[in-house]
Structure formats: structure tokens, C-alpha cells
Amino acid sequence: MLNAIIAAEAAGGAVAASGWFLENAWLVWLFPAVSFLAILLFGKRLPRGGSEIGIAAVGASLVFGLLTAIQWISEVEGAGGDSAEGEYALGKGALAAAADGEASGGVSALTRSITWLTNGAEAIGAGIMIDGLAVMMIFVVTLVSLLVHVYSTDYVAGDRRYTHFFAFLSLFTASMLFFVTASTTLQMLVGWELVGVCSFALIGHWWEEKPNSDAALKAFLTNRVGDMGLIIGVSILFFGAGTFDVIGVNEAALNGSMSHTVTLAGALCLTAAVISKSGQFFLHTWLPDAMAGPTPVSALIHAATMVVAGVFMVARLYGVFFEGYTIGGASINLLALIGGITTLVGATLAFVQNDIKRVLAYSTVSQLGYMVLALGVGAWTAALFHLFTHAFFKACLFLGSGSVSHAVHSFDMKKDMGGLRQAMPHTYRTFMIAAVALAGLPILSGFWSKDEILAGTGGWGLFGGTDANGAYTAMLAMGMITAALTGAYMTRVVYLTFFGEYRGHGTPHESGPRITVPLWILAGLATVAGFINFPAGFQLVPKSWEEKFFHWVEPIGVSYFPAIKHATPSWSLAIVSVVVALAGIGAAYRYYFVRVKAVSPTATELPDGLTARSSLARLGHRILVNKYYLDWLYTTVIVGFVKGPLARAAYWTNQHVIDRVVNEAGTRSVQAGNIVYHKVDQLVVDGIVNSTGKISDSSGEELRRMQTGKVQQYAAIMFIAATILAGIFIIVI
């Protein structure tokens, strides 16, 4: 098998990367894969139930991933990085050269593959494709996975399926790493489905209760619908490009050897996959339900890693999407539209959830929408940067919520939480950091990535911010509104969880170090992760610190990546977005921290009357009486309306229309199955068969009557038959 390794070919004129860790990056998924088997086989007999194997394996992967990253960075920095950097530093027209199709000394991905199967006398490979994107993903996945592993040793301690839990964590990690290092679309398909299965298994971890297994089924089936798109898309691209290789497919899309129609068809099919896997509108409903799984799982799979698989795939096959949707043609494309809608829908729905994890789930939907939106408008790096930062703060939030629920044995914010600030200081602090990061306030990581996306829409014509791949003003607006809503719903969560007075039972205690340490690590990362990609021309830091992420991750000057334009960062946009976010926070703050708290420390909503009375008839009166005009505006109009009718309507639509459609699809299939089976199969198809038998049988009975037992009737038959035969033959012949 070793001799089957096919040497990687340098793509385009770019320099091919090399290095031991890069070449052997398949080890990163091999460690956890082996760990999965080892845990299954020996886990139960080990003192810590197999978790030690998992932690060791993922740790090894992390180390390996880091080394790979270092090697990659040094490759990038070393190979023509200087000249490129010089150009980027100018901040505008950076990629003019690349746009001309000139491969200006970029570093192309390292690929290694073996023959996986031969079909039609053609070898189809499998292997690794290591570049900045892969390295970044390896880092994110292994890191979050490791932290979740550690966290879980406490969180699920004593669970009857402790060992299995870790086994599947390992399998998931392996699958995800396999997915992100895949060199062919076929492999991506494999990894894609494998993570889905792990998700299924982990969502349904507590399968004794039917809702959990229902949620697991729903997640899997919804994803399967998208997978259908992936399967078809991969097929189309295979025949379009003649290969499964990611590089080959991208090249074919970019150099026009694959027709635009085919490319578009492929992109559309893949988009379906993205919609289901990355929880985009209208197949997002499985994601909140998936919160039925253990919280660490939610953090790892449904926040940081698996759900971004769709985003990753778009990024990986960006050539296809870029050409297919003619991103940069400035017309609104499907990807951007879906992202935009999703981000709004998710943020709106996050308002009405009482389950802390469901808030976070909708928040994830919303943030994933951001990323897809970014990809849709051509802000490739921004999307991945947001993926990067989001992984940390969202994982932190989830783990934090887990820590809370660990203490109060519930996820219901209204019934069982409140005032946990004192009881759980570490959780509180880390949660706050992450929440602020999510809300996108400077200088935390969310700010940098969100801002970059907003700039990438190119819709901000004021004081810079142009020169993107077109002016997607609508996307910008959506992003802005979401920014406000994000701030607002996170404020609500924070209030309901940590402020006011405790509404639950018992006395909550802070979790142990195996929970808090990962929280702090993630909070730390949530704080600093943004620094890795200071915008160009940021001025406040040395130039060489600017755009490191972009530089390391985005493939530049290689034949398999489109020449995208990069937006110029804009101070004004950054300031406006912060203001918007603050406005959202402020509104929610007024509502909860001031008015709700004023009702009672244990209150979670204003009494019904207050909002109920906010009718037009009393408007004037209220304005006069209520000096807090802005307060009214904030609380009633913005928070009240958004949180009330709008979010409720959205939620109603969500539950009764979209989710219903999803569920109906299931029940209708079963009904169709029943009809087909009972009516068609048993009655018609089988009926025909059985009635043929019956007809033979009864015609046999009729013929049998001929056999009367009377010899002279026999004789008559004989004579008549002979006569008639003779007569007919004489006449006919």
C-alpha cells in the first residue's frame, strides 16, 4: 500500500508545500480513530473508562496539528510570503496579480493519496490535502475536542455509557479530521456522513427517553436529505471535472473546462447539503432539537465543529461555488441569501427560548448564517475567521451552560436559574466573556471576525469598506440587524441565568476544575483569537501582525482557488456595528436588568399587562406619563416587539410550518409506506399473484367437473373432440 502513494503534483505555478508533518497529516485522524477502537475494546476495563485513551489520542492529534500548523506557517512565510505580504500590506488591490490568473508565488496545498478504489480502470484516490484551511480546521477541531474531552470526564462522570461516550467523541474527532484533511470530494462525502452518524449517536446518547432518540433521528434524517444533495453534487462534479480531487474539481470549475451549467448544478446540490448540515434556513430545525444530547457534545459537534462542515465544504470547493453562483457578479446569490435569512431567523428565534441550550443553538444557527453569508458575498477569509473565533466563544458558551446545568440540573432558564453569578464565579466570568465576544464588542474575538464579514459584504459605501466582490447592501443590513439582536438575546440569557435571584431547587455550586479549566482556556481564546487577523491598515499594531490569519489560511495564487477581491476594512463600519450591537444590548439591558428586575428579583418577564397594554390607544398617554421615552422605545418597541410578536410569530412559523414540514415529511413517508404496503403491495401486487393461483385453482375445479366418472360421458367427450378436431382441420386446412 505504501508504494501506492502517488506523489502530489504541484498545482499551478505555485510552490508545493512539503514537510514531514504536512505529509503525514493523516496521522491526526488516525490517532482518534485508533482510540475509538481501543476504547470500544478495552475502555471498560480501564480505570477511567477509556477517557484517558481518548484524551491522549486527541492530545496527540492536537500536538501533531500544532506542529503541522507551524510547519505550514513556516512554508507560507518562507515561500514567496514576503513579496505577497508586501502587497497585501498596502491593503487594496492586493490580489490584482492573482486576479490576472498569474500564480504569484502562492503556496499550494500538499496532497498525498493512495489508490482507494479502481473503477472503470481508473484509480480513485484517497488522501490528504493540507493547506492553511486544513491546518486551521485541525487546530480548531483538536483543541475544542480535547477541551471537551477533559470537560466531559467530569460532566458525564458516572454515566452508564461513559465509555461509549468517549468512544464516540473519539470517532467524531477522527471523522471530522478526516473530513477536513480530505483530498477528494469522495472522502469529504465519507467524512461528512461519518460526523453525521456520530452526531446521531451522541444526540441519542440517552436513548432511553424517546424525545432524545426522536431528536437523534430527526437530526440524522434532516442531514440525510442534504446528503442527497451532496451525493448528487459530488457525482455531477465528478463527471464534470473527471475527478474527485478537490483541486481538480476546483480547477475545472475555474478554468472553464467544466461548463457553467454543470458547475451551477453542482453548486446547487452542494448547497442543499450545506443547508442541512450547517443548519441553514429552512432545514435548521434539527439543530435546536439536537440539544437533547449531552452538553459537551453540543459544544463540540453542534457549535464548534460539525455544523461548520458545510461552511468548510463551501470554502474547500470555493472554485465551484464562486463560478457556479458567479460570486462577485454583485447580484444576490443563493448562498448569500440563505446565509442572510438564516442569520436573521436564528437570531430572532433565540429570543423566545427558555432552554439555555436552545438559545445557544439558535444563536449557532444565526452565526452559521453569518459565515454562509460571508462566503456568499465572497468574503472567504472573513467567513473562516468567524468560524475560527466562533468555535471558541460558542464552545465556551455551551460548556458554560453545561456547567450551569450541572449545578442546577436543568436547562430551563426561567424555572431553574437566576442569580448564579455568585455561586458560580468561574462559569459566570467565562460565560460573560464569551457572550460579549459573541455580541461582537471590541476587542474580543467576535468583533474582529464579525466586522470583517460586514466589511466583506461591500455594502458599506461610507468611508471605505468598498472594493469587495460587489455591494451586497441587503446582506449588510441583515448582518447589522443580527448584530443588534445578538447583543439583545445574549443579554437576556445572561440576565436570566446569572442575575436576579435563584429560582431553582437546592444550592448550586461551582463546577470542578475539569470543567472550569477548559472554560477558562476557551474564554481566553475567545478573547485573543481575534488578534490573529488584525485588519490591514489597522495602524494600532505592527504591520507584520496584520492579516496573519488571512495570509496563512487563504490560498493565494494557486490555480484551484478563485481570485477574490478583498474588502478594505473601514473604521466607520466597525464603529457603527459596535454601536448597533450596543444598542441591542442596551435595549435588552433596560428591559431585563432594569424593568424586569424592578418587578421582582425572581421575575423573568414583565407582567403580561404591561406589554398587553402597549396599544395605540394608550400611546399618547404613555408618552406623556412615561418619561422614559427611549426606554419605551427600547423595551416595548424593540425588545417587546421583537421578543414578543415578531419572535413569537417567527417561532410559531418555525414550529408550525417549517418544523412541521420536516416532521410531516417523516410521517407522510410512513403513511405513504403504509398505503404502498397495505394497499398496493399486499392488495394489488401480491393480490395479482395470489389470484392467479386462485384462478388456476378454480379453473382446475371447473375442468375437474368434466370428470364425472360416467364412462359414456368420457366416450362422448372423446368422440366429440375427435369429430370437432377433424371438422375444424378439414375446414381450416
Partner 1 sequence: MIAEHVAFGIIAAVMVASALRVVTARDIVHAALYLVIVLAGVAALFLLVGAEFTGITQVLIYIGAVIVLFLFGIMLTRSDFDQDGETDHKRKLPAILTALLLLAVMIGALVDRFGDDRLDPTPQTTAQVSDELFSQYIVPFEAVSVLLLAALIGAIVIARREQGG
Partner 2 sequence: MLLNEMLLLGAVLFCIGVYGVLARRNGVLVLMSIELILNAVNINLIAFGAFHHTVIGQIFALFVITVAAAEVGIGLAIVLLLYRNRRSIDLEQVDLMKG
Partner 3 sequence: MLSSVPAIAGFVRPDIDWHAVAPELTLLGVGAVVTLVDIVLLERGRAYTSALTGIGLLVALIPIVTLAADGNTREMFGGAFVVDDFALILKAMFIVVAYVVVLLSTNYIAEGDYWENEYYGLLLSAVLGMVLMASARDLITMFVALELLSIPAYLLAAWRKGDPKSNEAGLKYYLMGVFASAIMLYGMSLLFGLAGDTRLAAISDAVSGGDSNPVVILGIIFVIVGFAFKVSGFPFHTWAPDTYEGAPTPVTAFLAVASKAAGFVALMQLVHAGFPGRDDVYQPLLWILAVGSMTAGNLIALRQENIVRLMAYSGVSQAGFMLAPLAVAGDIGGEALSAVITYVLIYAAMNLGVFAVIIAVARRTASGEISSYAGLFKYAPGMTILMSVFMFSLAGIPPLGGWFAKFAVFRAVVEADTGWGYSLAAIAAVNSVIALFYYARVARMMWFENAPEGADTTSLRVPPSLVAALGLTGAATLLFGIYPAVITHFTDGTLIALP
Give the footprint of partner 1 on this chain (CB under 8 A): 712, 716, 719-720, 722-724, 726-727, 730
Shortest Å, Cβ 680 to partner 3: 24
Confirm or reject binding of residue 725 to partner 2 (CB under 8 A).
Answer: no
Q: Which of 711, 730, 732, 733 binds partner 2 (CB under 8 A)?
A: 711
Integer Cα distance of 301 and 193 in angstroms: 13
- Name which of 711 and 731 has its Cβ closer to partner 2: 711
Nearest residue (CB) to partner 1, 673 versus 727 = 727
696: partner contacted, choices partner 3, partner 1, partner 2, none (Cβ within 5-8 A by kind): partner 3
Does the protein bind partner 2 through residue 709 (CB under 8 A)?
A: yes
Do the beta carbons of residue 628 and residue 529 sit within 8 Å? Answer: no
Nearer to partner 3, 3 or 729 (CB): 729
What are φ and ψ of residue 664, in 5° steps? -60, -40
Residue 667 binding partner per list partner 2, partner 3, partner 1, none, with a CB distance cut-off of 5 to 8 Å that depends on partner kind: none
Provide the minimum distance between the beta carbon of 731 and partner 1 in the complex, in angstroms, as a whole number: 9
CA-CA distance, 387 to 274, in Å (whole number)? 14
710 contacts partner 2 (rule: CB under 8 A):
yes
- For residue 463, whether the previous peptide bond is cis, meaning omega lies within 30 degrees of 0, is no
**∠367-371-373 over CA atoms, to 5°?**
110
Residue 603 in grid coordinates:
421575575
d(CA 126, CA 116): 5
The region of 340-348, 355-363, 453-461, 703-711 touching partner 2 under the rule CB under 8 A is: 703-711
Residues 683-722 that bind partner 3 (CB under 8 A): 693, 696-697, 699-701, 703-704, 706-707, 709, 711, 713-715, 717-719, 721-722
Query: What residues pair up with 182 in beta bridges, in sequence order?
Result: 128
Which of partner 3, partner 2, partner 1, none does 689 bind, CB closer than 5 to 8 A by kind? Answer: none
Considering the complex, state which of residue 99 and residue 720 has its C-beta at the smaller distance from partner 1.
720
**What residues does 546 pair with on adjacent strands?**
534
Closest-CA residue to 370 (of 391, 348, 346, 393): 346
Residue keyed to cell 486544513 = 134
**Partner in contact with 539, chosen from partner 1, partner 3, partner 2, none, beta carbon below 5 to 8 Å by kind:** none
In angstroms, give the least distance from the CB of 706 to partner 2: 10
User: Under the criterion CB under 8 A, does residue 7 sit at the interface with partner 3?
Assistant: no
Q: Which of 7, 702, 704, 730 binds partner 2 (CB under 8 A)?
A: 704
The smaller minimum CB distance to partner 1, of residues 672 and 724, is found at: 724
208 binds partner 3 (CB under 8 A): no
Distance separating alpha carbons of residues 144 and 529, to the nearest angstrom: 13
Taking the CB of residue 510, how many other CB atoms lie within 10 A of it?
18
Euclidean distance between CA atoms 53 and 155, whole angstroms: 17
Minimum distance between the CB of residue 674 and partner 1, rounded to whole angstroms? 56
Largest Cα–Cα distance in the chain? 121
Interface with partner 2: number of residues (CB under 8 A): 11
Q: Does 719 bind partner 2 (CB under 8 A)?
A: yes
Nearer to partner 1, 670 or 720 (CB): 720
**Which residues neighbour 196 within 8 Å (Cβ) at sequence distance 6 or greater?**
219, 220, 223, 224, 227, 277, 306
Which C-beta is closer to partner 2: that of 600 or that of 713?
713
Our finding on whether 121 is near partner 3 (CB under 8 A) is no
- For residue 523, what is its C-alpha cell? 474564554
- What one-character DSSP code corresponds to residue 567? P
CA angle (549 as vertex; 544, 554 as ends), nearest 5: 115
715: contact with partner 2 by CB under 8 A: yes
Smallest distance from partner 1 to CB 713, Å: 9
User: Measured from the CB of residue 691, what is the shortest distance to partner 2 in angstroms?
Assistant: 24
Closest separation in Å from C-beta 708 to partner 2: 6
By CB under 8 A, tell whether 707 contacts partner 2.
yes
Count the Cβ atoms, other than its own, within 10 Å of residue 732.
Answer: 6
Q: Which of 542, 712, 730, 732 binds partner 2 (CB under 8 A)?
A: 712
Q: Give the type of residue at 614.
A: S
At a CB cut-off of 8 Å and minimum separation 6, what does 305 contact? Answer: 140, 141, 144, 145, 176, 195, 391
Ramachandran angles phi, psi of 118, nearest 5°: -110, 135
Which among 510, 498, 479, 668 has a CA at the least distance from the CA of 581? 479
When the beta carbons of 609 and 709 are compared against partner 2, the nearer one is 709
Calpha distance 62→177 (Å, rounded):
11
- DSSP reduced 3-state for 114: strand
Binding site for partner 2 (CB under 8 A): 704-705, 707-712, 715-716, 719
Binding site for partner 3 (CB under 8 A): 693, 696-697, 699-701, 703-704, 706-707, 709, 711, 713-715, 717-719, 721-722, 725-726, 729-730, 733
